[in-house]
Structure 1
C-alpha cells in the first residue's frame, strides 16, 4: 500500500497540483494584502466607505456603536462586514481575472510566433539532388 501511495504521489499531476496550491496560497496572500492594505484604505479615504461597523441589532439589548461591542451584547446582523467582504471578493476576482487574461495573451503571442524552418533531412536533400540531376538529364 505504501508503494502504491508513493507512486500516486509522485505522478506529475499530483506534484503539479501541490505546487499550484502552494503558489496559489502565496498569491492569495499578496492579493489579500493588496486589497486590505492598499486599495480599501484609498477607497475609504476618498469616500469614507468603511462599512465594517454597520450592523442591525437583532435583540433589544444591543446599544453599542461598534460591531465588536454589539456582538458581545447580543445577536446582530453585520451587513456592513458582509458588504466589505463582498467588495474585497470582487476586487480579488478582478485582479485574478486580469492576471489570467495577461497570461493567456502571453501564451497566444508564443503560439503566434512563426516556427523556424526546419533543416531538411539528409534523405530529402539527396532526393532533391537526384531530381535536379534527372531534370538536367
Structure 2
C-alpha cells in the first residue's frame, strides 16, 4: 500500500478529523480563557496584591545582583545585570493562575454537560413506553389465540 493511500485513509477516518477539530477549538478556547484571565481576572488580583503586573515579580541573586536598581522591571533587571541569576517567579504565578482557571472552567463545562445528559436519561426512563397500535393489535390477537388453545 502506498504512503499517499495510507495517509489518505488515516486522514479521512473520523477520529483524525475529530481530533483536528478538537485541537482547533481547544486553541481558540485557550485564547478566550487567556483573555479572560489577562484582561479581567489578573487586574483584580493585581489590585488586591498591589502589583500591576505579576510577570515583573522577581528577585536577583549572585554576581551582579547589586547592579539592579530598586523597582526595576524584569527586562531592565536582565539588561542591568546580565550575569546575575534572576529568579522570575511572577510569570509562574500568572501561568499557575491561568491553569487553575482553565481547569475550573473545563470542570464546570463537563459537569454541566453531565447534568444535561442525566436529565435526558431521566426523561427517557421516566416516559413510559406506549405500545403502537400495531403492537396493541398483535397483543390482542396473541391473547385471543391463547384462550382458544
User: Normalising TM by the smaller chain, what interval?
Assistant: 0.7 to 0.9
The answer (yes or no) to whether the contact 2:46–2:54 under 8 Å persists in 1 is no
**What count of residue pairs does the alignment treat as equivalent?**
137
Mind listing any 5+ residue stretches in structure 1 that lack a counterpart? none
Aligned to 2:75: 68
Pairing 1:1-137 to 2, within 5 Å after superposition: 1-49=3-51, 50-62=53-65, 63-64=68-69, 65-72=72-79, 73-74=81-82, 75-114=85-124, 117=129, 119-120=131-132, 122=134, 125-132=137-144, 135=147
TM-score of the superposition, structure 2-length normalised? Answer: 0.76
- Give me the TM-score of the superposition, normalised by structure 1: 0.82
SS of residue in 2 equivalent to 1:113: helix
Larger relative contact order (CA 8 Å, sep ≥ 6): 2
| In structure 2, C-alpha distance between the alignment counterparts of 1:76 and 1:13, rounded to whole Å | 45
Kept after mapping to 2: 8 A contact 1:55/1:80: yes
Structure 2 unaligned segments of length 5 or more: list them.
none
